[in-house]
Chain A
């Protein structure tokens, strides 16, 4: 009996293995978790159309950089761009594939959704443990028409190294010198005060269940968990609400043309309506690839995503890259990727 079960299982797995091997080629990639939902949606649609699948392991930006450097995948993905000199050293190119916003979420009983206003300096002080109560003068001054409770603030942060951490701390170091000196930017930082929760979902759940909590999550998680998103003061001095329009405004003001190696972090961008914490998720590839076909397949997919992926991205609260940036990436970045024979992999 057992033997028969084993034999059946074995033969089934062999048959299944054979079919998947003969099915279409796949594109392999690894890296950031932040764009994973939209990449997987794109991959589904792309596979329906072309029969080419995407095997993307969402192992984190650091892992993506490591795997592409070790040449175990065709492309890597990272939420934090690599510095131009690091790119050069590793013979890599990078380009932004998708953008998204990071938003501060609060849980204060008696305060309506979207009513609380914060500025960068106050946010930095809260996360450094310098402002500990919601009725602190600094917060009250920004919110003259709100009745703030005498409630302790519980800052919640991402415990693990993450691109979200990088974007949030990058923003705080821009707007608070104090934060820059004492904490600094990075994917893994030592938060002086507060509670560390695991992943976006963990932060959302901790904020949702703790009265007096404040946290920061990818915009999609705030919507999904029905959280209270605070307004933020932007570089122009306006209080803006987090929504696709304000994210797009920030992205529109981004000066990709003059960013060497496309190294650009979209925090604290100029513009009257710009949301101050927006970030792009980057794709990394080698300038000299061993397998030109695999590279071509990956570029075809990203080209398709630039052209057709906008709607799926917007539905998930991401912001598609503007046309002009996509054109520039095709022309200036993809042209640098060459096969073993020295020929350009990407042909328009």
Chain B
């Protein structure tokens, strides 16, 4: 495309031996191409601008709180709006812990499902199971929240009363998040695994490889990037999930470094308090939103770095 743009019309005639009509057509195509390029560029830049605007408005709105609270915002170990004590640590801790629990549970399960679907599943079942996994990804998060509070948390309370005295808590939220992101990671992993050329697979089998060896040594290395991409997407959803988490996390606003105890996450705290907040509390909540924005950004950046290192290592 760049080459057609860099040559002039007369050169084109020389080069292609085009007559006047063909030349006009060429020129027209060039214009359409350019409009298309500019149009898509604008759309791409609009996303950046939107991202920048959101960030800027969060900074502007959160600035009064940052000025008023300073570092205590990041080091305070409780969020007590009624006495204007805003410490973000409990929420940050809860966000990270629940997301990590979710990823630890979801990744192996998702990979297992994806391997079964692409390598082992009878063809007749493959489409049905695949569609069902995709359907799970489309279930609204409030449904997961309701299920968590009505089914999962009473179950945990009944069967593991010492670990989950109330049924809710950080681990319960992590479990719900895991269930929510499994279909995402599974769907993406399955899609990238399907793209591995059949010939590669067959060659490996032809050399006498077992299914496990094919998956381990042929398929995974060639789709590592895609799988990491799926995990990143799942992690992004887990970090920002609000509705389902609010239902089951326990909403305790003190920092307690436990895994099964009650806690809160940034998104849950904002969802709970924003409608009734004004003044400094509102500003502090918006600042908290900025923190979530930054955390997500950092996590995604780390994931991309990992991805690059994996790709560099790949043969």
Contacts and interface: CB of A to CB of B under 8 A. Distances in A.
B149 A184 contact: no
A186 B82 contact: yes
Contact of B149 (A59, A65, A192, A202): A202
A117 B123 CA distance: 65
Contacts of B131: none
Given A160-B275, A190-B254, A195 B83 contact: no
A84 interface: no
A183 B253 CA distance: 12
Interface stretch (B59-67, B160-168, B228-236): B160-168
A195 B169 CA distance: 8
A195 B250 contact: yes
B272 interface: yes
Nearest to A78: B276
Contact of A191 (B166, B253, B278): B253
B252 A154 contact: no
B246 A159 contact: yes
Interface stretch (B43-51, B73-81, B181-189): B73-81
A186 B82 CA distance: 5
B90 to A, nearest CB: 9
B80 A161 contact: no
B226 interface: no
Contacts of A87: none
B273 interface: yes
Most A-side CB within 10 Å, residue of B154, B276, B278: B276
A101 interface: no
Interface in A301-328: none
Interface in A175-225: 183-198, 202, 205-206, 209-210
Given A159-B251, A195-B262, A65 B166 contact: no
A187 B82 contact: yes
B99 interface: no
A160 B273 contact: yes
A187 B277 CA distance: 9
A169 interface: yes
A175 to B, nearest CB: 17
A190 B276 contact: no
A154 B82 CA distance: 23
B27 interface: no
B166 A210 contact: yes
Contact of B252 (A63, A152, A162, A191): A191
Contact of B276 (A169, A185, A187, A209): A187
A161 B168 contact: no
A273 interface: no
A189 B251 contact: no
A209 B275 contact: no
B143 to A, nearest CB: 15
Nearest to B247: A198
A65 B278 contact: yes
A348 to B, nearest CB: 35
Interface in A54-88: 59-63, 65-66
B288 to A, nearest CB: 13
Interface string B170-214: 000000000000000000000000000000000000000000000
Contacts of B81: 161, 186-190
A169 B82 contact: yes
Contacts of A202: 149, 247
A200 to B, nearest CB: 14
Contact of B166 (A162, A184, A186, A195): A195
Contact of A159 (B78, B82, B85, B272): B272
Contact of A152 (B165, B254, B264, B272): B165
Contacts of B80: 183-184, 189-190
B304 interface: no
B275 A161 contact: yes
B157 interface: yes
Contacts of A198: 246-247, 272
B110 interface: no
B281 interface: yes
Given A184-B82, A210-B157, A195 B168 contact: yes
Interface in A107-158: 152, 154
A189 B82 contact: yes
Contacts of A63: 275-276
B251 A59 contact: no
Contacts of B278: 62, 65-66
Contacts of B276: 60-63, 160-162, 187-188
A154 B167 CA distance: 11
Contacts of A59: 275
Nearest to B275: A60
Given A66-B278, A161-B272, A192 B254 contact: yes
Given A62-B276, A184-B80, A194-B262, 17 more contacts: A59-B275, A63-B275, A63-B276, A159-B246, A159-B251, A160-B275, A162-B276, A183-B80, A185-B82, A186-B83, A188-B81, A188-B272, A190-B79, A195-B168, A198-B272, A205-B150, A210-B167
17 contacts: A62-B275, A63-B276, A65-B278, A159-B246, A161-B277, A187-B276, A188-B81, A189-B81, A190-B82, A190-B85, A193-B252, A194-B262, A196-B250, A202-B247, A205-B150, A209-B154, A210-B166
